[in-house]
Amino acid sequence: MSDFPVSFTGGYSRPVPKPESASLDFAVDRSSPVPLYYQLAQQLESAIEHGRLAPGSLLGNEIELAGRLGLSRPTVRQAIQSLVDKGLLVRRRGIGTQVVHSQVKRPLELSSLYDDLQAAGQSPATRVLRNETEPASAEVAAALGIAEGSEVQVIERLRLTHGEPMAYLCNYLPAELLDLDSARLEETGLYRLMRGAGITLHSARQAVGARTATAEEGEQLMEPEGAALLTMQRTTYDDTGRAVEYGTHIYRASRYAFEFQLLVRP
Amino acid sequence: MSDFPVSFTGGYSRPVPKPESASLDFAVDRSSPVPLYYQLAQQLESAIEHGRLAPGSLLGNEIELAGRLGLSRPTVRQAIQSLVDKGLLVRRRGIGTQVVHSQVKRPLELSSLYDDLQAAGQSPATRVLRNETEPASAEVAAALGIAEGSEVQVIERLRLTHGEPMAYLCNYLPAELLDLDSARLEETGLYRLMRGAGITLHSARQAVGARTATAEEGEQLMEPEGAALLTMQRTTYDDTGRAVEYGTHIYRASRYAFEFQLLVRP
DNA sequence: GACATCACATTGTCCTGACATGTGGGGTTT
DNA sequence: AAACCCCACATGTCAGGACAATGTGATGTC
């Protein structure tokens, strides 16, 4: 299947185990403002995604690839490295670079529930239950790294799909960070609004647990009392290290589970 | 399209970027087999960890740093980049590189419960309930990507801390992959044994959910029937893309929660 | 005083070149 | 035939330079 006649290596010294990627029409546009390594990385990723680069196949050596594209080896290496970081390629010294053959999905982004649901075609809806400011409790102040009693914005939302509740979300933000319109909150996710306001999200610390539902929680989520609930607490930081959001979320375990992909960092 | 430019980049004053270019005594050892960029990265990480590089402080420009250490700029950049990937540093064109000031922990490694507990000083113990081979069920075969009915090794374990059960773990491995001694399984984690056998773990796909305990589960974990349980299913792949392990784990929600750090990939 | 402009500092990108190190095949020796 | 050695090959590491892009702050202009 993956062995085909060797033509360009000139049959010189060794049979070559599996030469691949011989004549994929990679080409870069030097007049484009997009970095060259990035153009190449995207073309490689696309080729992998569409099966033009078979899983397990070798990528051909960097020097030859650089020469064919008119690029320098560091540029090609940068492109390859970015895909290695994504988990699409594996490098082996002395062997070559090959396409990993597993169903690698997105490696756990800092995603909003809203986007997740939308991507799954679930047509999410949001009902804003509360949107106002209040003095920070000790717990919230500690999570956001601010003084207890400072004003924070509190948002309580119910997330629904197909008319049924899916999760109850409670978020706290430093008061002056952002003015949040309830109408906009019902149309999109919180993270998208924050990004739109010039806040660059950088990292988050999460804790995922479980507990049984109280009577009120059950009523709100249309679950019986004592049903299993999936809980998550998350503190999100921007690129200056400032905490910009703290949230306590409750999901119906019967209708939601966290799925994600991990990569090992060598 | 997630980000769109909005002019509300408020005049909120950021804490002054201290132009602090600490002249720490970084030095590399050229006679060492350890790569120079790696030596530098470790020294930087250590300096950040121990507070010798204050959060928010600038790192001094790359060219000057390279000159001071007798290294080339690409080497210094490689060191810095590795810390940026870890989330410890942030680069800004035109500004400089600064230490992010948040309590960044390990960004969610592919960790074993055993190591996690050991790191937390919990002195974990393992009781192997079952360790034998059986034909793969449809579910297991699908997860491992092998034929239904192939022999797989089944391991059922109870993980305890302080004499109390913490989790029930059930794992399936392709039969010929590894010979697992029950005695060794009681002394360490499964992943450590696999790594020791020359298997390089590469990625994993996880699902975390919750449900209530059945009577038998409750008895095994010393929880009442109906208690909330945290469930996880995980398929682990090695660097060739082969599935090497599939596991179904059940944790006592009253005693365990998943905690992890996420990084946004730009 | 408000605003546009320019110089400067710093990272981003890209190049050429060199040597080191681990892998695996083929030839040689035992 | 089996064991060993050697060498080509691929990636890993490192150097040094050049120019581009961008945020900051000072300068100048209206």
pLDDT tens digits, one per residue of A41-94:
999 999 988 888 888 888 888 999 999 999 999 999 999 999 998 888 999 888
Residue position matching structure tokens 């933000």: A173
Name the average pLDDT for chain B: 82
* Bridging pattern class, strands A151-161 and A164-174: antiparallel
- Closest residue to D12 (CA, C1′): A93
Q: In the beta sheet, which residues pair with residue A259? A: B207
C-alpha dihedral over A186, A219, A118, B202, to 10 degrees? Answer: 130
Nucleotides of C under 7 A from a protein CB: 9-18, 21-26
Across the interface, whether the CB atoms of B2 and A195 are under 8 A apart is answered: yes
Q: Which structure tokens are listed for A215?
A: 């009577």
Per-residue pLDDT, B235:
92
pLDDT tens digits, one per residue of B203-256:
888 888 999 999 999 999 999 999 999 999 999 988 877 889 999 999 999 988
Number of DSSP helices (H) and strands (E) in chain A, helices first: 8, 9
Residues within a 7 A CB radius of strand D: A 12-14, 16, 33, 59-64, 73-74, 77, 91-97; B 35-38, 70-75, 78, 92-95
Average pLDDT, integer, range B43-53: 88
- Model confidence at A35: pLDDT above 80: yes
**CA separation, residue A21 to residues A52, A85, A97, B103 (Å):** 8, 20, 11, 44
Confidence of residue A168 (pLDDT cuts 50, 70, 90): very high
Chain B: closest CA distance from residue A169 (Å): 17
Please state, for a pLDDT cut of 70, what percent of chain A lies above it.
82
At B239 the three-state DSSP class reads: coil
pLDDT tens digits, one per residue of A110-130:
566 666 666 666 678 889 999
CA dist., res. A233 & res. B32, Å (int): 44
Nearest CA in chain B to A74: B74
Backbone φ/ψ region at B226: left (φ over 0), alpha (ψ -120 to 50), beta: left
pTM for the model stands at 0.78
Q: Write down how long chain A is.
A: 266
Nearest CA in chain B to A205: B261
Edge-to-edge strand order for the sheet containing A258-263? A258-263, B201-212, B228-238, B243-252, B164-174, B151-161, B124-135
**A192 interfaces chain B, CB cutoff of 8 Å:** yes
Q: Which structure tokens are listed for B161?
A: 């801390």
Element housing A155 (H / E): strand A151-161
**B204 interfaces chain A, CB cutoff of 8 Å:** yes
Question: With contact defined as beta carbons under 8 Å apart, do A131 and A180 qualify?
Answer: yes
B92 touches strand C (CB under 7 A): yes
Nucleotides of D under 7 A from a protein CB: 8-18, 21-24
Confidence of residue A266 (pLDDT cuts 50, 70, 90): low
Across the interface, whether the CB atoms of A258 and B9 are under 8 A apart is answered: no
Question: With contact defined as beta carbons under 8 Å apart, do B117 and B161 qualify?
Answer: yes
**Greatest pairwise CA separation for chain A in angstroms:** 77
Per-residue pLDDT, A170:
96
Across the interface, whether the CB atoms of B107 and A240 are under 8 A apart is answered: no
